[in-house]
Amino acid sequence: MSFPDTKYMGSKQAILPFIISHIRPLSFSSAMDAFSGSGCVAYAMKRLGKRVTANDFHRFAYHIAKTTVENNSITLSANILAMLLRRNPKSKTFVKDTFTGLYFKEEDCDFIDNTYANIRDLTNETHQSLALAALCRACMKKRPRGIFTFVGNKGRDGRRDLKISLKQQFLEAIPLFNQAVFSNHQRNKATCSDVFDLSPKGVDLVYIDPPYMSPHSDCDYTRRYHFIEGLCSYWKGLILQAHTVTKKIHSYPTAFKNTRTACDAFSRLFDHFKNCILVVSYGSNGIPGREEMVRLLRQFKKQVRVYETTHKYCFGNHHHKVGQNNNDVSEYLFIAV
């Protein structure tokens, strides 16, 4: 069993050993990853044998967590894969009509439209999530830096990921997610909720890798991943901003991405989970800073320990930022008990 590698911005996959080395000695049997994102930390806690809830308000992150964390046994068989690849007469053409030439060629957009129609025909929700997770991964792998904040051929080079078809990316993603499925003999759960709507009852430890502001980037993950977020519902119920170059969707409101409201949002969050062990991943370029985060945590916890490691975020929001030293930060792990 292994977690599929990811291009997800902000993913902690590269520093998982650092995070888990400090979580493992703590006394807990149940855990919540409140902002699960790529899902790799929730998956690592599942491997520790804990009962895990993985939450994220993005639909694409929810489907990844449902596939890898909640799911203990279900995989996509060769027969189901063949069904996903068949030509579906009910397939619509929204992706081909809206996004051809922006992110993918027409044949790739047609594949997305047709595959989504086939996914909707699956009767098992976990099968649907697994196929959607694979399709989202295929879309990200086919994009330079894995994001959807620019259009056209910017960033395209000779890398295999950018040359092979989206269908081939999908075919390669399926076995990766199949191989990640295992049972830790716990009733794990994936949810897609606002963090303040989650109940802390019965949760021993909450891992928090929050969206946060920095002087060098924003925390608008919806803007970066609007295409796969829209794809997971086929844009139903979402506001498509057709006047924008990227054809993005309207972002979800959150107090964490505003410098005027961020401190209050963190204080509310720590208060909400004050009866749990709080484990917070945070970058040295974050707003609020380290000392303010310690102060906020100490309002609700007697002891706050801070661990530190170096970490390079490989992606910037804009092409001119890629490779800048601004992406080199210290990564803090706050543990409050």
Convert the pLDDT of each residue in 28-68 to its tens digit. 999 999 999 999 999 999 999 999 999 999 999 999 999 99
Indicate if 168 and 118 belong to the same structural domain.
yes
**Of the residues 206, 231, 253, the one at which a domain ends:** 253
Residue at 67 is within a domain: no
Residue at 276 is within a domain: yes
Contacting residues for 272 by C-beta, under 8 A, at least 6 apart = 195, 196, 198, 200
Residue at 66 is within a domain: no
Give the per-residue pLDDT at 39: 96
Residue at 239 is within a domain: yes
Indicate if 225 and 79 belong to the same structural domain.
yes
Mean pLDDT value across residues 69-80: 98
Indicate if 209 and 225 belong to the same structural domain.
no
Give the per-residue pLDDT at 77: 98
Residue at 133 is within a domain: yes
Three-state SS annotation for 164-225:
CCHHHHHHHHHHHHHHHCCCCCCCCEEECCCHHHCCCCCCCEEEECCCCEECCECCCHHHHC
Q: Of the ranges 48-57, 250-259, 278-287, which one carries the lowest mean pLDDT score?
A: 250-259
Indicate if 207 and 133 belong to the same structural domain.
no
Residue at 52 is within a domain: yes
pLDDT value at 324 more than 50: no
Give the per-residue pLDDT at 287: 86
Indicate if 155 and 228 belong to the same structural domain.
yes
Indicate if 150 and 3 belong to the same structural domain.
no
pLDDT value at 110 more than 60: yes
> Is pLDDT larger for residue 170 or for residue 215?
170
Give the per-residue pLDDT at 193: 97
pLDDT band for position 318 (cuts 50, 70, 90) = very low
pLDDT value at 300 more than 90: yes
pLDDT single digits (tens) 201-222: 999 999 999 887 776 666 789 9
Q: Which of 219, 176, 206, 208 is nearest to 5 (CA)?
A: 176
pLDDT value at 8 more than 50: yes
pLDDT value at 316 more than 80: no
pLDDT value at 102 more than 50: yes
Indicate if 245 and 304 belong to the same structural domain.
no
CB of 297 closer than 8 Å to CB of 304: yes
Indicate if 209 and 336 belong to the same structural domain.
yes
First and final C-alpha spacing in the chain: 32
Mean pLDDT value across residues 190-207: 97
Q: How far is CA 197 from CA 172, 192, 210, 261, 279, in A?
A: 36, 10, 15, 18, 19
Indicate if 287 and 312 belong to the same structural domain.
yes
Residue at 264 is within a domain: yes
pLDDT value at 317 more than 80: no
For position 279, which CATH number holds?
3.40.50.150
Indicate if 131 and 265 belong to the same structural domain.
no
Residues of the domain holding 138: 74-180+220-253
Q: Which of 138, 20, 91 is nearest to 234 (CA)?
A: 91
Mean pLDDT value across residues 225-240: 97
pLDDT band for position 253 (cuts 50, 70, 90) = confident
Q: In the chain, how many H helices and how many E strands?
A: 13, 7
Q: Of the ranges 86-100, 213-227, 239-253, which one carries the lowest mean pLDDT score?
A: 213-227
Mean pLDDT value across residues 111-124: 98
**Of the residues 253, 269, 296, the one at which a domain ends:** 253
Please, what is the average pLDDT of the chain? 92
pLDDT value at 130 more than 90: yes
Rounded-to-integer distance, Cα 131 and Cα 135, Å: 6
Q: Of the ranges 208-212, 222-226, 229-233, 331-335, which one carries the lowest mean pLDDT score?
A: 208-212
Residue at 322 is within a domain: yes
When divided into structural domains, the chain yields a total of: 2
pLDDT band for position 152 (cuts 50, 70, 90) = confident
Indicate if 147 and 238 belong to the same structural domain.
yes
pLDDT band for position 19 (cuts 50, 70, 90) = very high
Give the per-residue pLDDT at 155: 78
Where b means 16+ CB within 10 Å and e means fewer, 244-262 reads eebbbbebeebbbbeeeeb
Indicate if 293 and 214 belong to the same structural domain.
yes
